[in-house]
A and B are shown apart, each in its own frame.
Chain A
Amino acid sequence: MAREDYEVVIGLEVHAELSTKTKIFCSCPTSFGASPNTHICPICTAMPGTLPVLNEKVVEYAVRAGLATECTISQDSKNDRKNYFYPDLPKAYQISQYDKPLCEHGKIEIEPSTGRKTIGITRIHIEEDAGKLNHDEFGRGSLVDLNRAGVPLIEIVSEPDLRSSEEVDLYLRKLKSILEYIEVSDCKMQEGSLRADVNVSIRKKGAKEYGTRTEMKNMNSFRSITRAIEYEIDRQVDVIDNGGEIEQETLRWDEVSGKTFSMRDKEDAQDYRYFPDPDLVAIKLSDEYIENIRKSLPELPESRKQRYLTEYHLSEKDANIITSSKYLSDLFEEASKICNNPKAVNNWIISDISRILNETEMEPVAIPFDSKQLAKLVMLIDKGTISSSIAKKVLVEMFEHPRDPEDIIDEKGWVQISDEGAISEVVSKVLANNPQSVADYKAGKEKALGYLVGQAMKETRGKANPQMLNKMFKEELK
């Protein structure tokens, strides 16, 4: 059968590192990139006799995430131990949540090409991250760094509501933007602070039972997630079409070969022996606590988007792109307020800024200039100080060697020529050098004007005011 005869069923378990100052159960810092085993203490290295104490911000952040995804917040929650041996897990158990997660039954809206759709959130729970294994320089052993051990995570488990890699991509981007908006996670995918376990299965269209699923763990780029899902769907279709059966297993996605591989560690089915952690007491949140957090939530992307449609008259597509990132959205609103030209700011973000971000694989949060500088760029065009083609060059410069746009223009001598005398001088010169074009224009070929303006821009290395050029050429050629 063809791929079209199957329905794809995907569920996601997304892990987001919370941006607290300290770890979940001890007071060690969480900052990324410290030298090995410098952010550790007796607790996160599981020295005998140590005990965990839950960080209040972790609970608060998880509740924020729950409320922002329309979850019900549990008023009777607890921590459980998930027991297994691995060298990055010093206690030989991960403190997580099993049957009483903090948040349940939420949802997220996405807009795939097939139409608006709701993806269910099964649960959001809190847990601790593991350490990191490095390989030693001689390749004979592995080295354990516990800086990350105990960094707080929330795990966001979706319902198996996703039906394509497109939907997964949109869901993840939406989730990421929500977490950024409510400022509970920086969601830096390269640093692993947002990663997803992807469960994929297929079934014949119309079938009621789910197919057997495979799981790809710890995926941390949108691109590989899409590729891996596409590959895995094809693989599963292939297996079934050839009369085979899908094995329930954990797969590893290999970015280089573009294939998934079975992680052959099946000597025993895992049995995590979850049980309530007796070192930690119950979490019973009051209505008041939950309501206070609800009141403190910022405006979420969905609501901002609606506002942009009515207040700024952006197109649905543009509003989607801008609100997908809190940083972009803030940049848009602040810059618009300063320069009073939201349309222009929108255009800059949608076209040039987005293009540069894509080309350099930069996260919006890493944009090296602020809203004031972007607003200034727009105002310099509006005032006629620079042309929009020069402005594009200024923007590139603002990314590459960040500094004030006015300084860039000064240094580079890019100020637009709007002096009538100077313009008319150039116009005369161009007219004299291009008699054929002049003749063409006079014979009714409108296009020739564009050529002449282009030549004049070339003469002035792009600095001439294009509106003035246009006007002057037309007058001269009357």
Chain B
Amino acid sequence: MDITELTVHELQEKLKNKELTSYDITKAYIDRMNEKEKDVQAFVTTLEDDALEQAKKIDEEIKAGEVEGNFAGIPIGIKDNICTKGVKTTCSSRMLENFVSPYDATVVEKLNDEKMINLGKLNMDEFAMGGSTEYSYFKKTRNPWNLNKVPGGSSGGSAAAVASRMVPWALGSDTGGSIRQPSSFCGVVGLKPTYGLVSRYGLVAFASSLDQIGPITKDVYDSAMLLNIIAGHDDRDTTSSNQEKIDYTKCLKNDVKGLKIGIPKEFFGEGINEEVKASLEKAIEIYKELGAEVEEFSLDIAKYSLAIYYIIACAEASSNLGRFDGIRYGYRAKDFKDLKDLYRKSRSEGFGPEVKRRIILGTYVLSSGYYDAYYKKAQQVRTLVMNEFNKAFEKYDVLLTPTSPTVAFDIGSKSNNPLEMYLADICTVSVNIGGLPGISIPCGVDKEGMPIGMQLIGNKFQEGTILNAAYTYEQKTKFRENHKPTFRKGEE
């Protein structure tokens, strides 16, 4: 038995039956990490020794019958923009290269309450800004399906680590597609919850009105389980909702009969790769076979969404990243003549080019003379997008789109053209603008064997609906059983 092939719900079962110990599981993942990390480069920080020690302790507690909680001893990987007390949280930035958070994020507290084991902190685009993980200050993470390709981003480390089975599951964060797009590129399942379902306390802010933490997992059932753990109101985040807790695994009925699926035709238009389109069309047929009612309709918001996404996200980021000034924590330049010089040098040397680009864009759209034309207008258009989604959800339970217009692209192929990189977010950003839940699941591979992702969008707090739709499709198509990452090095 290869332990790292098992899903978390399988591991959980085997832990309960005493077929496996936490140590067995943790050790298996660390061995796998030692084997694959040199190729994949998914981690910023690994915690092998701590993890093994913790696993031993939990095994003893399990033996003594002292442990409650369904996930005690299960390892997890955490994106490096989620604060972990006593462990470095770098946001893959030189700015926070040595930063150790003095507190745990709310989601991390929840993992700790379950006695889960942190295997390490996962690589990302610097401050979650990017779609390829190439903007990490430390390293470029590789796509396990083809090491010459990007894993997507910004949660590229999380998706690549799950796909290469170096962690059983992981937490990512999603501001404009940063969970779903890398999940799509790496052939795993990624869920961005409804804005407000998961506390943002302890997630280093990129764009406060868009950011959400969510699961990246091997299968849909695991996503439902991890969402169960992290969802819920938090007094420390006033934007967190008061929704009643539900068990998302109970929503997985393996049945979509009568489910109304809307296909927004604009999401299948210009710029969408033909193979991606074909794969999605096949998926639509499968849903029809499964008894869903599928209908094409017009939702002409994608372009607006992308434009307002970059305005709003950059504006918020330019303000959120002001605190990195080299005074209380973070990078401080070596030579400076006065305070202003300290600020400017520390920030200019501590931030990478993409972060600076977005700070500049964000500062520009908020500055006097441009505020009304860009920022205020964008917030009005945001209302328009939300209204359009509301209308769509009067008719449909789920919207189905590609997750990304393409499969994973070659490392270095887009990093010089920011606008082109931004355009790749066209399918995912609307979901963040609307504050809606969205899930990406694999629905095929292209002729080079690279995974293609399908995105299912639900109405606010209807995670159960999209999880069930995804689950039903997954049960029918068994992608994971039929496709494995190859770690090939491309055409060398």
* Chain A residues with a Cβ under 8 A of chain B: 42, 45-54, 81, 83, 85, 87, 90-93, 144, 271, 273, 275, 277-281
Residues of A contacting B315 with CB < 8 Å?
275
- The stretch that binds A, out of B62-70, B97-105, B154-162, B437-445, is B97-105
CB of B319 within 8 A of CB of A46, answer no
Let me know if B447 is at the binding interface, CB within 8 A. Answer: no
CB of B238 within 8 A of CB of A83, answer no
Tell me the complex Cα distance, A279–B237, Å.
8
CB of B363 within 8 A of CB of A47, answer no
- The stretch that binds A, out of B37-45, B255-263, B324-332, B465-473, is B324-332
CB of A273 within 8 A of CB of B339, answer no
Could you say which of B322, B339, B367, B375 contacts A87, with CB atoms under 8 Å apart? B339
Given A54-B238, A92-B322, A275-B315, decide whether A49 and B366 contact each other with a Cβ distance below 8 A: no
Could you say which of A45, A49, A273, A281 contacts B204, with CB atoms under 8 Å apart? A49
Residues of A contacting B203 with CB < 8 Å?
49
Let me know if B436 is at the binding interface, CB within 8 A. Answer: no
Residues of A contacting B201 with CB < 8 Å?
49-51
Closest Cβ–Cβ distance, residue B370 to chain A (whole Å)? 10
Given A91-B322, A273-B367, A278-B316, decide whether A46 and B328 contact each other with a Cβ distance below 8 A: yes
Tell me the complex Cα distance, A46–B324, Å.
9
User: Mask for B308-335, Cβ within 8 A of A = 1, else 0?
Assistant: 0000000110110011110111000000
Let me know if B488 is at the binding interface, CB within 8 A. Answer: no
Nearest B residue to A273, CB-CB = B366
Closest Cβ–Cβ distance, residue B284 to chain A (whole Å)? 36
Closest Cβ–Cβ distance, residue A106 to chain B (whole Å)? 28
CB of B101 within 8 A of CB of A51, answer no
CB of B322 within 8 A of CB of A93, answer yes
Could you say which of A90, A271, A281 contacts B238, with CB atoms under 8 Å apart? A281
CB of A279 within 8 A of CB of B329, answer no
Q: What are 14 residue pairs bridging A and B, where the CB atoms are less than 8 Å apart in the complex?
A: A42-B103, A47-B328, A48-B204, A49-B83, A49-B89, A51-B200, A52-B238, A53-B237, A83-B318, A91-B322, A92-B323, A275-B319, A278-B239, A279-B205
Tell me the complex Cα distance, A49–B203, Å.
5
Tell me the complex Cα distance, A42–B238, Å.
16
CB of B102 within 8 A of CB of A51, answer no
Let me know if B368 is at the binding interface, CB within 8 A. Answer: yes
Closest Cβ–Cβ distance, residue B95 to chain A (whole Å)? 10
Tell me the complex Cα distance, A277–B367, Å.
16
Closest 8 CB pairs of A and B: A92-B322, A278-B209, A273-B366, A278-B208, A48-B204, A49-B202, A46-B323, A49-B83
Residues of A contacting B325 with CB < 8 Å?
85, 87, 92
Let me know if B343 is at the binding interface, CB within 8 A. Answer: yes
Tell me the complex Cα distance, A277–B327, Å.
23
CB of B102 within 8 A of CB of A273, answer no
Let me know if B91 is at the binding interface, CB within 8 A. Answer: yes
Residues of A contacting B205 with CB < 8 Å?
48-49, 279
Residues of A contacting B91 with CB < 8 Å?
48
CB of A83 within 8 A of CB of B322, answer yes
Residues of B contacting A49 with CB < 8 Å?
81-83, 89, 101, 105, 200-205
Given A42-B102, A49-B203, decide whether A280 and B366 contact each other with a Cβ distance below 8 A: no
Nearest B residue to A81, CB-CB = B319
Tell me the complex Cα distance, A47–B319, Å.
14
Residues of B contacting A85 with CB < 8 Å?
322, 325, 343
Let me know if B19 is at the binding interface, CB within 8 A. Answer: no
CB of A279 within 8 A of CB of B319, answer no
CB under 8 Å from chain A, chain B span 365-406: 366-368, 371, 375
Closest Cβ–Cβ distance, residue A53 to chain B (whole Å)? 5
Residues of B contacting A87 with CB < 8 Å?
325, 327, 339
Known: A48-B99, A49-B203, A83-B318. 14 other contacts (CB 8 A): A46-B323, A48-B204, A48-B329, A49-B82, A52-B238, A83-B366, A87-B327, A90-B327, A91-B323, A92-B319, A271-B368, A273-B366, A278-B208, A279-B205
Nearest B residue to A83, CB-CB = B319
Residues of B contacting A50 with CB < 8 Å?
103, 201-202
CB under 8 Å from chain A, chain B span 34-93: 81-83, 89, 91
Nearest A residue to B315, CB-CB = A275
Residues of B contacting A53 with CB < 8 Å?
235-238
Nearest B residue to A275, CB-CB = B366
Nearest B residue to A47, CB-CB = B102
Tell me the complex Cα distance, A278–B175, Å.
14
Interface centre among B89, B91, B238 (most CB of A within 10 A): B238
Could you say which of A93, A275, A280 contacts B375, with CB atoms under 8 Å apart? A275
Tell me the complex Cα distance, A200–B328, Å.
37
Tell me the complex Cα distance, A280–B236, Å.
11
Residues of B contacting A280 with CB < 8 Å?
238
Interface centre among A51, A93, A144, A277 (most CB of B within 10 A): A51
Nearest B residue to A54, CB-CB = B238
Tell me the complex Cα distance, A83–B365, Å.
13
Closest Cβ–Cβ distance, residue B453 to chain A (whole Å)? 28
Let me know if B30 is at the binding interface, CB within 8 A. Answer: no
Residues of A contacting B209 with CB < 8 Å?
278
Closest Cβ–Cβ distance, residue A49 to chain B (whole Å)? 4
Tell me the complex Cα distance, A278–B375, Å.
13
Tell me the complex Cα distance, A275–B319, Å.
9
